[in-house]
């Protein structure tokens, strides 16, 4: 950004000295100085935009709106230009905020939040502006939006209720398979539902973060936590059954395919055969017979790979996940075949051990997945 000040006093210069000549102790004051300078430049830009709008300059130059004019002028994205115009026009209604902005005492981000508050309840905002501007100057990045939303609730309780209802109606969740074979989640939750989801995910993700041996990123831990919550839901016996059947992953494989290497197909996309073997370690099997055209001709009796009596003996012996240091209880563990049944291993107590989902995955796939740098 180039800022040309009319009277270039030293504090108005963007480059006072080459950056790499600054000492460590100079970096923070220099950043603070620049933040103020940027705020003042942004305030000046907002002023120019507002004046151009008032004088009808965009229309005189053939543009339908100040936003279209700004897009043509700066080549910045429409959303950015729209927000700049909105802020420029809002500042005319916020004299105290505008003065603090021009002084460099308020950042553009803070002014944008104030502008939203002003747009929501203009009269109450005019009454409380001095207080709100002083909060904008003094409160932390986390505290200020909270203070603003608290103010908004008091300023216009009916509107706050309507906003809460609108937030609730806007809840949505999209879950879709992508062409790369990943599943994408995208959504918005109202504050209360969102808090429920956050609390549930944190309850699983945060204890793991304390484990120094856990090398997953926070984003990976949250993803694993969400999947674990869904699995526990599917495993729990008190949830509604679909057609008498607990809905689970369904894999249609021949024993030969299960024993081989490579990929096998799930509805959402392909997974490694090793992952299929992990799922098959402790699964419910339905023997099926296909005719020469791949059509189903016979279905045998469904049975658990690890029968209930053996599972109880295993839980009594292992107590929970057998990975060193792991304390996941038995009911959330898989029965892992030390030598897989697809490779001829027997389903006996001696060939089984309990592993939680994470360690079960580690056991099967750690050596089979491409190593990340």
Residues that bind Zn ion (CB under 5 A): 278, 281, 321, 323, 326, 328, 336, 356, 359
- Let me know: does 100 contact 132? Beta carbons within 8 Å: no
DSSP state at residue 94: -
With respect to Zn ion, which residue has the nearer C-beta, 110 or 323? Answer: 323
Closer by beta carbon to Zn ion, 110 or else 340: 340
Q: Which is nearer to Zn ion, 56 or 329 (CB)?
A: 329
- Residue 365's H or E segment, with its range, is helix 357-365
| DSSP 3-state of 191 | helix
The set of long-range contacts for 152-155, using a CB threshold of 8 Å and a minimum separation of 24, is 152/117, 152/120, 152/121, 155/120, 155/121, 155/124, 155/125, 155/128
Distance in Å from the first CA to the final CA of the chain: 37
What is the distance between the alpha carbons of residues 237 and 246, in angstroms, rounded to a whole number? 8
CB of 285: closest distance to Zn ion in angstroms?
15
Distances (CA, A) of 213 to 324, 333, 371: 11, 20, 17
**Axis crossing angle, helix 191-209 with helix 218-235, rounded to the nearest 10:** 110
- Where b means 16+ CB within 10 Å and e means fewer, 166-179 reads ebeeeeeeeeeeee
Q: Which is nearer to Zn ion, 91 or 306 (CB)?
A: 306
**Sign (positive or negative) of CA dihedral 136, 140, 145, 149:** negative
In whole angstroms, the minimum distance from the beta carbon of 22 to Zn ion comes to 50
CB of 359 to Zn ion, least distance (A): 4
3-state DSSP call for residue 160?
A: helix
- 35 vs 25: CA distance, rounded Å: 17
| 34 versus 305: smaller Cβ distance to Zn ion | 305
Least gap, CB of 305 to Zn ion (angstroms): 10
Closer to Zn ion by Cβ: residue 112 or 361:
361
- Residue 76 or 214 with smaller CB distance to Zn ion: 214
Judged by CB, which is closer to Zn ion: 40, or 336?
336
What does DSSP say about strands 303-304 and 296-299: parallel, antiparallel, or unpaired? unpaired
Smallest separation (angstroms) from Zn ion to the CB of 313: 18
234 vs 221: CA distance, rounded Å: 20
CB of 277 to Zn ion, least distance (A): 7
Cβ distance to Zn ion smaller for residue 114 or 356: 356
CB of residue 251 vs Zn ion: minimum separation in angstroms?
14
Q: Cβ 254 to Zn ion, closest distance in Å?
A: 19
Q: C-beta of 228: minimal distance to Zn ion in Å?
A: 11
């Amino acid at each position: 950004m180039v800022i040309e000040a009319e009277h270039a006093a030293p504090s108005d210069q963007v480059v006072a000295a080459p950056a790499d000549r600054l000492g460590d102790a100079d970096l923070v004051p220099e950043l603070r100085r620049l933040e103020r300078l940027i705020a003042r430049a942004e305030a000046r830009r907002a002023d120019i935009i507002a004046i151009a709008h008032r004088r009808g300059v965009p229309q005189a130059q053939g543009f339908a709106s100040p936003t279209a004019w700004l897009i043509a002028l700066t080549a910045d994205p429409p959303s950015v230009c729209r927000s700049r115009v909105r802020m420029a026009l809002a500042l005319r209604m916020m004299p105290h905020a505008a003065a603090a902005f021009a002084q460099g005492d308020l950042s553009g981000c803070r002014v944008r939040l104030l502008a939203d508050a002003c747009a929501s309840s203009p009269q109450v905002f005019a009454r409380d502006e001095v207080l709100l501007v002083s909060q904008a100057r003094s409160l932390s990045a986390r505290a200020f939006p909270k203070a603003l939303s608290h103010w908004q609730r008091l300023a216009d309780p009916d509107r706050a209720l309507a906003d809460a209802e609108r937030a609730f109606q806007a809840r949505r969740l999209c879950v879709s398979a992508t062409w790369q074979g990943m599943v994408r989640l995208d959504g918005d939750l109202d504050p209360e539902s969102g808090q429920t989801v956050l609390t549930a995910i944190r309850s699983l993700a945060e204890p793991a973060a304390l484990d120094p041996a856990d090398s997953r990123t926070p984003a990976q831990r949250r993803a694993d936590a969400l999947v674990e919550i869904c699995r526990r839901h599917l495993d729990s016996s008190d949830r509604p059954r679909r057609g008498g059947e607990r809905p689970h992953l369904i894999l249609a494989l021949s024993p030969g395919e299960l024993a081989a290497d490579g990929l096998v197909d799930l509805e959402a996309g392909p997974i490694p055969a090793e992952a299929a073997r992990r799922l098959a370690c402790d699964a419910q099997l339905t023997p099926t017979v296909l005719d020469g055209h791949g059509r189903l001709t016979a279905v045998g009796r469904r049975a658990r790979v690890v029968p209930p009596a053996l599972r109880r003996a295993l839980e009594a012996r292992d107590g929970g996940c057998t990975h060193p240091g792991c304390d996941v209880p038995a009911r959330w563990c898989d029965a892992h075949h030390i030598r897989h049944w697809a490779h001829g291993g027997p389903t006996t107590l001696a060939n089984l051990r309990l592993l939680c989902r994470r360690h079960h995955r580690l056991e099967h796939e750690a050596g089979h997945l491409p190593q990340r740098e």
